[in-house]
Chain A
Amino acid sequence: MPVFKTPFNGYSVKFSPFYESRLAVATAQNFGILGNGRVHVIDLSPSSPVINELIAFDTADGVYDVAWSESHDSVLVAAIADGSIKIYDTALPPHSNPLRSLKEHAREVHGLDYNPTRRDSFLSASWDDSVKLWTLDRPGSLRTFREHAYCVYSASWNPKHADVFASASGDCTVRIWDVREPGSTMIIPGHEHEILSCDWNKYDDCLIASASVDKSIKIWDVRNYRVPVSVLNGHGYAVRKIKFSPHRRNLIVSCSYDMTVCLWDFMVEDALVGRYDHHTEFAVGVDLSVLVDGLMASTGWDELVYVWQQGMDPRA
Chain B
Amino acid sequence: MEKAINRQQILLQHLNPSAPSSADQNYNSALSASACLAGDSAAYQRTNAFGDDVVIVAAYRTALCKSKRGGFKDTYPDDLLAPVLRALIEKTNLNPGEVGDIVVGTVLAPGSQRASECRMAAFYAGFPETVPVRTVNRQCSSGLQAVADVAAAIKAGFYDIGIGAGLESMTTNPMAWEGSVNPRVKQMEQAQNCLLPMGVTSENVAHRFGVTRQEQDQAAVESHRKAAAATASGKFKDEIIPVTTKIVDPKTGDEKPVTISVDDGIRPNTSLSDLAKLRPVFKKDGSTTAGNSSQVSDGAGAVLLMKRSVAMLKGLPILGVFRTFAAVGVDPAIMGVGPAVAIPAAVKAAGLELDDIDLYEINEAFASQFVYCRKKLELDPKKINVNGAAMAIGHPLGATGARCVATLLHEMKRRGKDCRFGVISMCIGTGMGAAAVFERGDHTDELCNARKVETNSFLSKDAL
Contacts and interface: CB of A to CB of B under 8 A. Distances in A.
Interface of A: 7-8, 29-36, 38, 58-60, 81, 86, 97-98, 101, 108, 127, 149-151, 170-172, 192-194, 196, 213-215, 237-238, 240, 257
A81 B10 CA distance: 13
Given A59-B463, A60-B461, A33 B447 contact: yes
A92 to B, nearest CB: 13
A32 B449 CA distance: 12
A38 B460 CA distance: 10
18 contacts: A8-B458, A30-B449, A31-B449, A32-B11, A33-B4, A34-B44, A35-B44, A36-B463, A59-B464, A60-B463, A60-B464, A151-B22, A172-B21, A193-B17, A193-B22, A194-B14, A214-B17, A238-B14
Nearest to A214: B17
Contacts of B463: 36, 58-60
Nearest to A27: B458
Contact of B460 (A36, A98, A196): A36
Contacts of A29: 43, 458
A240 to B, nearest CB: 7
B157 interface: no
A243 B20 CA distance: 26
A257 B7 contact: no
Contact of B22 (A31, A58, A101, A172): A172
A170 B7 contact: no
A101 B7 contact: no
B358 to A, nearest CB: 26
Interface in B1-31: 3-4, 7-8, 10-11, 13-17, 19-23
A170 B22 contact: yes
Contacts, number: 92
A221 B190 CA distance: 92
A250 B11 CA distance: 30
Nearest to A151: B10
B15 A36 contact: no
Contact of A36 (B7, B447, B458): B458
A97 B7 CA distance: 27
Contact of B464 (A101, A150, A171, A214): A101
A36 B464 CA distance: 10
- Which residue among A34, A97, A98 has the maximum number of chain B CB atoms within 10 Å of its CB? A34
Given A31-B449, A193-B17, 4 more contacts: A38-B458, A58-B460, A215-B17, A238-B14
B347 to A, nearest CB: 29
B7 A108 contact: yes
Given A30-B450, A81-B7, A214-B17, A36 B459 contact: yes
Nearest to A237: B15
Contacts of A59: 463-464
Interface in B34-80: 43-44
B38 to A, nearest CB: 9
A42 to B, nearest CB: 17
A8 B460 CA distance: 13
A257 B23 contact: no
Given A58-B460, A60-B463, A86-B464, A32 B7 contact: yes
Given A33-B7, A108-B7, A171-B22, A213 B14 contact: yes
A35 B43 contact: yes
Contacts of B43: 29-30, 34-35
A150 B22 contact: yes
Nearest to B20: A192
A156 to B, nearest CB: 19
Q: Is the interface of B mostly helix, strand, loop or mixed?
A: loop
B283 interface: no
Contacts of B186: none
Contacts of A194: 13-14, 21-22
A19 B34 CA distance: 42
A29 B459 CA distance: 9
Nearest to A215: B17
Contacts of B13: 170, 194, 213
B207 interface: no
A257 B451 CA distance: 19
A150 B14 contact: no
Given A35-B44, A193-B22, A238 B464 contact: no
- Which residue among A97, A196, A257 has the maximum number of chain B CB atoms within 10 Å of its CB? A257
Interface string B421-464: 00000000000000000000000000101110000001111011
A255 to B, nearest CB: 13
B459 to A, nearest CB: 6
B114 to A, nearest CB: 52
A38 B463 CA distance: 10
A129 to B, nearest CB: 11
User: Which 5 pairs show the lowest CB-CB distances between chains A and B?
Assistant: A58-B463, A170-B22, A194-B22, A34-B4, A238-B14
Nearest to A32: B7
- Which residue among A8, A97, A194 has the maximum number of chain B CB atoms within 10 Å of its CB? A194
A127 B6 CA distance: 11
A30 B451 CA distance: 6
A215 B18 CA distance: 11
Contacts of B20: 192
Contacts of A127: 10
Nearest to A86: B464
Contacts of A7: 458
Nearest to A108: B7
Contact of A150 (B19, B23, B459): B23
Contacts of A193: 17, 19, 21-22
Contacts of A240: 14
Contact of B17 (A32, A86, A171, A213): A213
B8 A238 contact: no
Contacts of A237: 14-15, 17
B197 to A, nearest CB: 58
Contacts of A38: 458
B13 to A, nearest CB: 7
A257 B44 contact: no
A161 to B, nearest CB: 29
A35 B4 CA distance: 9
A257 B15 CA distance: 7
Given A8-B458, A29-B458, A34-B447, A238 B22 contact: no
Contacts of A192: 20-21
Contacts of B11: 31-33
B7 A98 contact: no
A98 B44 CA distance: 25
Contacts of B21: 172, 192-194
Nearest to B21: A172
A234 B43 CA distance: 37
Nearest to B23: A150
B216 to A, nearest CB: 51
Nearest to B31: A237
A150 B9 CA distance: 13
A98 B464 CA distance: 7
